[in-house]
């Protein structure tokens, strides 16, 4: 008899959570420990040989962190997950088993400014590189792929503009060229979109944002679909050939669908050390319990605020995909059927100076370099998160000098609108 799959909100509360075997504690405990006692020498050897699943050292695995990975993997429909210290760490962890010096990733031009910086400059220190392409043009994506390309990378709902990516079209390209598709699902969350259902191989999250939801944690998660054939092309020797970093183990041959997850733990976390702490994992687990409720309110509020802003004479444009006027409106039903998210940009008449005045005049909104909080947040990307880019790159990323980014919270929508109204009166 086949078990009926559990619903999203049930998984958000129960996946990865079991009563503690020692105490019966119902909430996942914070296992604040560095190391774990082996039963005997044979048990220790089996753990290190990956013949038995268990806990060795908290840089690699920890019961609280493992519960979080299991929960997010269940919500995304993945085979496994690895948790790490930040969203940026998650991006490096996603690429690490795939790349080698001389390899490149083809990435969307519509990415968070910090990701563009990471891919433009920092990954070059590993000998990797990135090619930035308009992911609304599948032919351009395919044309950018060469013999050294190892992955495609995009965001479900792009930060900062809220542009929704046609994941089905991008996954079709990835399938034709035989490469994994990595999707940053931070701004959509699995409540609005499950990229694996659209053909993604790996899904990355900044747990700092909506998953935790209250601005208390820095963390990242990589979810593996378990569906990619790492052995098909010979391009991924860390996963599908003897791995010298782990006594010659062929992870794909030995572990199948869990090859990427175990490699990321046994080699990635071991050697890069970008480990999530158990207290942060605990906070994120508690945040995820209300993810569905929060995302529903985030989306409802964002729709109301965007509809109020669009016709305002002080506003030059609103990028929210939930608006019928948006070029990406049709993708809401296709990619994020429960709504267009709660992140978008607003072009303010009066340009850079008006944006600065707007930010400084708000009272309910918090001016912070974060998104996905229960509180409504605002930032001027051109002077902050995208400051490291030249103006042309800012415009390509949807962060022009006359643009502010709004992350709409779950306060009363009328109060959010009233705060924007009084601040715009001062700014424009």
| Per-residue pLDDT tens over the stretch 339-397 | 999 999 999 999 999 999 999 999 999 999 999 999 999 999 888 877 777 788 777 77
320 and 216 fall within a common domain: no
Last residue of a domain, which of 287, 302, 330?
287
Q: Is residue 62 in a domain?
A: yes
Which tokens is 99 given? 């790349």
Crossing angle of helices 63-76 and 278-288, in 10° steps, is 40
148 and 278 fall within a common domain: yes
The confidence score (pLDDT) of residue 384 equals 82
278 and 302 fall within a common domain: no
Which tokens is 78 given? 């993945």
Q: What does the alpha-carbon distance between residue 380 and residue 356 come to, in Å, rounded to a whole number?
A: 7
pTM: 0.95
272 and 409 fall within a common domain: no
Non-local (6+) Cβ contacts of 203 within 8 A are 76, 78, 182, 183, 184, 185, 195, 196, 222, 223, 225
Q: Are strands 181-184 and 343-348 parallel, antiparallel or unpaired?
A: unpaired
Type and span of the H or E element at 46: helix 41-48
The confidence score (pLDDT) of residue 396 equals 75
Last residue of a domain, which of 287, 320, 344?
287
Q: Is residue 335 in a domain?
A: yes
Would you say the C-alpha torsion 283, 286, 288, 290 has a positive or negative sign?
negative
What's 314's domain CATH number?
3.90.1150.10
Structurally, the chain folds into a number of domains equal to 2
277 and 297 fall within a common domain: no
The confidence score (pLDDT) of residue 300 equals 98
13 and 135 fall within a common domain: yes
pLDDT in tens, the chain (428 residues): 456 789 999 999 999 998 888 889 999 999 999 999 999 999 999 999 999 999 999 999 999 999 999 999 999 999 999 999 999 999 999 999 999 999 999 999 999 988 999 999 999 999 999 999 999 999 999 999 999 999 999 999 999 889 999 999 999 999 999 999 999 999 999 999 999 999 999 999 999 999 999 999 999 999 999 999 999 999 999 999 999 999 999 999 999 999 999 999 999 999 999 999 999 999 999 999 999 999 999 999 999 999 999 999 999 999 999 999 999 999 999 999 999 999 999 999 999 999 999 999 999 999 999 999 999 999 998 888 777 777 887 777 778 889 999 999 999 999 999 999 999 999 98
**173-209 CB burial, b ≥16 within 10 A, e <16:** bbeebebbbbbbbbbbbbbbbbbbebbbbbbbbbbbb
Q: What does the alpha-carbon distance between residue 239 and residue 47 come to, in Å, rounded to a whole number?
A: 19
313 and 260 fall within a common domain: no
The confidence score (pLDDT) of residue 13 equals 95
Q: Is residue 3 in a domain?
A: no
């Amino acid at each position: 008899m086949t078990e009926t799959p559990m619903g999203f909100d049930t998984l958000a509360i129960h996946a990865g959570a079991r009563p503690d075997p020692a105490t019966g504690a119902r909430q996942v405990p914070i296992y604040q420990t560095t190391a774990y006692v082996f039963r005997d020498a044979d048990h220790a050897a089996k753990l290190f040989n990956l013949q038995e699943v268990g806990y060795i050292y908290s840089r690699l695995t920890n019961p609280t962190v493992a519960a979080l990975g299991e929960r997010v993997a269940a919500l995304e429909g993945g085979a496994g997950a690895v948790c790490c210290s930040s969203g940026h760490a998650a991006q490096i962890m996603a690429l690490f088993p795939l790349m080698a010096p001389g390899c490149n990733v083809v990435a969307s031009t519509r990415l968070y400014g910090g990701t563009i910086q990471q891919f433009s400059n920092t990954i070059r220190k590993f000998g990797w590189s990135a090619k930035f392409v308009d992911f609304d043009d599948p032919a351009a994506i395919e044309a950018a792929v060469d013999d050294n390309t190892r992955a495609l990378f995009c965001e479900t709902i792009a930060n900062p503009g809220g542009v929704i990516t046609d994941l089905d079209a991008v996954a079709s390209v990835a399938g034709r060229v035989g490469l994994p598709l990595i999707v940053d699902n931070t701004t959509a969350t699995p409540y609005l979109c499950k990229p694996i259902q659209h053909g993604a191989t790996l899904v990355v999250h900044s747990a700092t944002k909506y998953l935790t939801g209250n601005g208390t944690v820095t963390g990242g998660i990589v979810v593996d679909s378990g569906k990619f054939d790492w052995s098909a092309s010979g391009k991924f020797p860390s996963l599908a050939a003897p791995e010298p970093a782990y006594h010659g183990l062929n992870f794909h041959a030995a572990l199948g669908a869990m090859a990427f997850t175990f490699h990321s733990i046994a080699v990635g976390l071991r050697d890069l050390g970008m480990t999530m702490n158990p207290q942060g994992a605990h906070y994120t687990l508690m945040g995820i319990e209300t993810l569905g409720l929060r995302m529903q309110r985030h989306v409802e509020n964002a729709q109301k605020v965007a509809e109020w802003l669009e016709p305002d004479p002080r506003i030059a444009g609103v990028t929210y995909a939930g608006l019928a006027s948006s070029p990406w409106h049709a993708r809401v039903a296709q990619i994020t059927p429960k709504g267009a998210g709660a992140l978008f940009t607003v072009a303010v008449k009066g340009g850079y100076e008006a944006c600065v005045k707007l930010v400084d005049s708000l009272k309910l909104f918090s001016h912070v370099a974060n998104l996905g909080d229960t509180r409504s947040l605002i930032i001027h990307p051109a002077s902050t998160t995208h400051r490291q880019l030249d103006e042309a790159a800012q415009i390509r990323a949807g962060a022009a000098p006359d643009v502010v980014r709004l992350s709409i919270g779950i306060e009363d929508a009328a109060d959010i609108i009233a705060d924007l109204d009084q601040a715009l009166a001062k700014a424009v």
